[in-house]
């Protein structure tokens, strides 16, 4: 049975989802969980796109040891150089170079001829091969490229040193039969195709990304590029969890499988959902809350008599457990630390003490603390450092059906230790809170998106709020978690502001370094 390499692009193509903006710490947390999941390649970002992305890719490459880390690069020497500097310390560095090959892209985007594109592709693959042991080359918009020309350029870049050839359905246009035929054609018409692995990268614009990926495997693809929860540009990428379980359950049909640790799928999905702020639909295959639920009486009767009547996948296979570990106010530090380690979190003693204190405070409000609660507690991002941003101290809201909602907020300015207290009204409680925070913070802030959900079922579930705001014209996002919805709302708003302040500070520092260097 063939082994299919899993190329995860959650941190690159997935982060390109509108409204998603991960910082370095969040990217590293996801990368560690992807390593735990057992993906073969992590596409950590686009190093040349920004200083922040460069540093995030560099940190991930230096940290991850059990899978290969790669970065995206245009067919530009500067991009390749940036990728090498970011990835050279990795355990198995590789680069992912792309250039468009369809006539529509050549005419309207690149303004190049086919011959010019072919020469550029060969030149850049050779240049990258001088540094990287593994070079992956992608024909952007391969799905709309004439097959004879695609075969011609693929043959040339293989001779130039490419180790992996990616043939993406960049716009999610093809049917499974059409997409599979591209791989079959390459196998039959490219003389040196046996020297490389073929990779598939499918988008979900017409809802066929997973089906197209499986069709590619059936026609010779050795690698699948996908993202957790199917996030990505526009309608997203092929969902990693769906492909992985489809290969496992139907390996009789596909004659191929991955080496993923499927028990980590649900945990990985939850982590990505929380950090990106992109909720997973309840009816989402494999990882949705309803994926293993049965409500119909007929289904329930059959399931109780024999699970296989209506269940082709066991919840345990993907890490869904009916009875999660419950901690409470009598739990000690040792049990708390062991549970964090089991969940994939590793902290030093100081951080353990900080989180244990937060855990104890939460047990005064909730009788039982589940794994979901612990994950939410840990992921309540503390982006402020001792000198940047604002610290949330207290919130008081007065509300009644015959009263104007009024909020009072206390913050501490981290830069000068100044205590800030303000009050304001609003049409509703959340608006009152945000109007008050706006008065506390001397910035032009506009709320553009507000979303709320609970971290699990039950009346004592924690509220999770995700917001998107503009701070002085720059868009950023934030996340807040608390048992009270209004407190979570305030923390999300403040978290977004602090993230932008930290980013602005880092950019100012970079500009000063550049000025001194010049």
Residue 115 host element (H or E): helix 114-129
Report the binding-site residues for Mn(2+): 13, 201, 203, 237
Q: 270 CB contacts (<8 Å, ≥6 apart)?
A: 287, 372, 375
Structure tokens at 365: 């409000």
CB count within 10 Å of CB 66 equals 11
Q: How far is CA 170 from the centre of its chain?
A: 19
Report the binding-site residues: 13, 201, 203, 237
Q: Give the separation between CA 243 and CA 224, rounded to whole angstroms.
A: 9
β-strand partners of 423: 408
Q: Give the separation between CA 414 and CA 498, rounded to whole angstroms.
A: 10
Q: Give the separation between CA 293 and CA 132, rounded to whole angstroms.
A: 47
Check: CB of residue 482 under 8 Å from CB of residue 371: no
Q: How far is CA 327 from the centre of its chain?
A: 29
Q: Which residues of 20-46 are buried (b: 16+ CB within 10 A; e: fewer)?
A: bbbbbebbbbbbbbbbebbbbbbbbbb
Q: What is the 3-state secondary structure (H, E, C) of 153-189?
A: HHHHHHHHCCCEEECCECCCCCCHHHHHHHHHHHHHH
Q: Give the separation between CA 280 and CA 216, rounded to whole angstroms.
A: 26
Q: 114-129 vs 147-160: helix axis angle to the nearest 10? A: 30
Check: CB of residue 95 under 8 Å from CB of residue 70: yes
Phi, psi of 421 (to 5 degrees): -130, 130
């Amino acid at each position: 049975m063939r082994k299919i390499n899993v190329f995860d692009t959650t941190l690159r193509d997935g982060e390109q989802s509108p409204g998603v903006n991960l910082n370095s710490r969040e990217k590293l947390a996801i990368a560690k969980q992807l390593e735990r999941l057992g993906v073969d390649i992590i596409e950590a970002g686009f190093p040349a796109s920004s200083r922040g992305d460069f540093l995030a890719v560099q940190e991930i490459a230096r940290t991850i040891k059990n899978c290969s880390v790669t970065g995206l690069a245009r067919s530009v020497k500067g991009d390749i150089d940036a990728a090498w500097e970011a990835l050279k310390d990795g355990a198995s560095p590789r680069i992912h170079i792309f250039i468009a090959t369809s006539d529509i892209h050549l005419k309207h985007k690149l303004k190049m001829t086919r011959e010019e594109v072919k020469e550029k592709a060969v030149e850049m693959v050779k240049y990258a091969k001088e540094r990287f042991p593994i070079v992956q080359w992608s024909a952007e918009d391969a799905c709309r490229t004439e097959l004879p020309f695609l075969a011609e350029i693929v043959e040339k870049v293989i001779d130039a040193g490419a180790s992996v050839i990616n043939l993406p359905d960049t716009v999610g246009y093809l049917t499974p039969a059409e997409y599979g035929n591209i791989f079959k054609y390459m196998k039959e018409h490219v003389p040196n195709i046996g020297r490389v692995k073929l990779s598939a990268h499918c988008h979900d614009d017409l809802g066929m990304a997973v089906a197209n990926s499986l069709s590619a495997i059936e026609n010779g693809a050795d690698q699948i590029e996908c993202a957790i929860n199917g996030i990505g540009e526009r309608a997203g990428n092929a969902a990693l969890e769906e492909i992985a379980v489809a290969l496992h359950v139907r390996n009789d049909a596909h004659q191929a499988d991955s080496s993923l640790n499927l028990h980590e799928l649900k945990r990985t999905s939850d982590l990505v959902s929380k950090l990106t702020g992109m909720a997973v639909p309840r009816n989402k295959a494999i990882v949705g809350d309803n994926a293993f639920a049965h409500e119909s009486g007929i289904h329930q009767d059959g399931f109780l008599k024999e699970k296989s009547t209506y269940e082709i996948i066991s919840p345990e296979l993907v890490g869904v457990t009916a009875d999660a570990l419950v901690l409470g106010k009598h739990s000690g530090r040792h049990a708390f630390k062991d549970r964090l380690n089991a969940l994939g979190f590793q902290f030093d003693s100081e951080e353990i003490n900080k989180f244990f204190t937060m855990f104890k405070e939460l047990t005064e409000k909730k009788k039982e603390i589940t794994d979901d609660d612990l994950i939410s507690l840990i992921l309540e991002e503390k982006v402020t450092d001792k000198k940047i941003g604002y610290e949330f101290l207290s919130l008081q809201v007065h509300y009644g059906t015959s009263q104007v909602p009024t909020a009072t907020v206390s913050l501490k300015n981290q830069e000068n230790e100044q205590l800030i207290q303000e009050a304001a009204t609003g049409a509703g409680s959340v608006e009152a809170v945000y109007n008050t925070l706006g008065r506390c913070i001397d910035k032009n802030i506009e709320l553009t998106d507000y979303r709320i959900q609970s971290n699990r079922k039950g009346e004592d579930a924690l509220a999770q709020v995700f917001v998107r705001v503009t701070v002085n014209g720059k868009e950023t996002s934030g996340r807040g978690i608390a048992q009270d919805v209004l407190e979570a709302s305030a923390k999300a708003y403040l978290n977004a502001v602090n993230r932008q302040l930290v980013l602005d500070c880092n950019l100012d520092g970079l500009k000063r370094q550049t000025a001194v260097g010049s």
